[in-house]
Amino acid sequence: MQLFCVKPTVHYFETFPEFLDAFSVGEGDLIFTEQLLYEQYIRPCEARCLTLLKDQYGMGEPREEVIDAILEALRGQTVHRIIAVGGGSVIDIAKLLCVKNASPVRDMMEGRTPPVLDKELIVVPATCGTGSEVTFGGIVTMRDTGFKTGILAPELSAAHAVLIPQLLSTLPAKVFLHCSVDALGHAMESYVSATRGNEMARAVGARAIRLLTRGYAVLAQEGEQARPRLMKDFLTASCLAGMAVNNGGAGPVHALAYPVGETYHMSHGETIYQFLTAVFSLYERRQDGPLLEELRELIQPALQQADIFTGDTFGGLQQLLERIYPSRRLGECGMTEADVEPFTANVFAAKQRLLQASYVPFSQQDAMDIYRQRL
């Protein structure tokens, strides 16, 4: 049984021009990115390659119709390497762009087109959350249902993952925190996964948790001026957490988050922020044990560093995050009591893989209680 796999070679550079030189980016290469990143980091370099901007085809999460439009735009172009520079949406789309005969994307998502790559993929993350540079999955919002559908295939792995902390400098404070909480969710959920959890995934996840929570303590004490010196740690933690979730799997936090994000157009990181500590507090009440104790030991030093002294570690973690950037209540985002049961039904109909990974049996009543707790 395979326990752990990291396919991309991971690289580190201080600046984007260093990366372009090291990889000899030029003819036959396509940089797939977003307008803001292009203007700030790519255009000044005058790279001699093709460039395609996701913004020109649609904003937000990867959608079926957006991906099909991009595939049509690339038809007839000679491209040997795709360089994805951006967050999870850009990276997820780029993985599918590398597949031979990928259009229409629905055929791939429904298993009719095999995920055989005919282009090399290089991923340069510009957020510190998804870890998509080292995962072999992708998410697409399907046109007919409006729901996110995942595809998992080792063939979708990047050949190279390139970490450049400089690219995080333009993230707003809110986005920076939300992205990093997504990474924290990856590390924590994979740590206690009932279906795929393993010691190797826990090892990299533990380091990610240490780096993130230590950084949160610094941000809580010193504010935004501390962020530049933390960017390398957060980007590294995101990559490590990506390795952890790729090999250990996510769980109910992600299951609860998906319908909320889809319905109220909230970022994935913000929806993880809604549910992360609530789910782990439930675990603790229901069935404490060695893995939860290990998580508490990983988190407690950061709480003490931030002068949060409490026996409730997961509640203290929520306090720490709220001190950096307060979360919104779900009611502020548009959710009402009337949404609780339909959302729960959606989760239990569509996200069984994630629910089965729960550290304790997770019921519909548990889901409804947590949704109501966050209203």
What is the CATH classification number for the domain harbouring 250? 1.20.1090.10
Residue 50 domain boundaries? 9-167
**Do both 248 and 286 map to the same domain?**
yes
Among the three residues 167, 193, 221, which one is the final residue of a domain in this structure? 167
Residue 1 lies in a domain: no
Residue 219 lies in a domain: yes
Among the three residues 167, 194, 226, which one is the final residue of a domain in this structure? 167
**Do both 226 and 152 map to the same domain?**
no
Supply the DSSP string of 90-129, one letter for each residue.
HHHHHHHHTBTT--SHHHHHTTSS---BSSEEEEEESSSS
Residue 131 lies in a domain: yes
Residue 3 lies in a domain: no
**Do both 202 and 108 map to the same domain?**
no
The CATH number of residue 130's host domain is 3.40.50.1970
SS3 153: coil
Residue 2 lies in a domain: no
**Do both 141 and 191 map to the same domain?**
no
Residue 180 lies in a domain: yes
**Do both 53 and 152 map to the same domain?**
yes
**Do both 271 and 292 map to the same domain?**
yes
Question: How far is residue 20's CA from residue 29's CA, in Å, rounded to a whole number?
Answer: 11
Tell me the two tokens of residue 262.
């889809």
**Do both 328 and 236 map to the same domain?**
yes
Tell me the two tokens of residue 232.
């390398």
SS3 164: coil
**Do both 77 and 94 map to the same domain?**
yes
Cβ contact 238:183 at 8 Å: yes
**Do both 228 and 308 map to the same domain?**
yes
**Do both 246 and 105 map to the same domain?**
no
Among the three residues 123, 139, 167, which one is the final residue of a domain in this structure? 167
**Do both 152 and 22 map to the same domain?**
yes
Helices and strands: H and E segment counts in the chain: 16, 8
**Do both 16 and 150 map to the same domain?**
yes
Q: Residue 160: enclosing H or E segment and its boundaries?
A: strand 160-163
- φ and ψ of 332, to 5 deg: -70, -25
| pLDDT tens series, the chain, 375 aa | 788 999 999 999 999 999 999 999 999 999 999 999 999 999 999 999 999 999 999 888 899 999 999 999 999 899 999 999 999 999 999 999 999 988 999 998 888 989 989 999 999 999 999 999 999 988 888 888 877 888 888 999 999 999 999 999 989 999 999 999 999 999 999 999 999 999 999 999 999 999 999 999 999 999 999 999 999 999 999 999 999 999 999 999 999 999 999 899 999 999 999 999 999 999 999 999 999 999 999 999 999 999 999 999 999 999 999 999 999 999 999 999 999 999 999 999 999 999 999 999 999 999 999 999 999
Cβ contact 323:306 at 8 Å: yes
SS3 311: coil
SS3 82: strand
Residue 205 lies in a domain: yes
Residue 4 lies in a domain: no
Instruction: State pTM to two decimals.
Output: 0.96
User: Structurally, how many domains does the chain consist of?
Assistant: 2
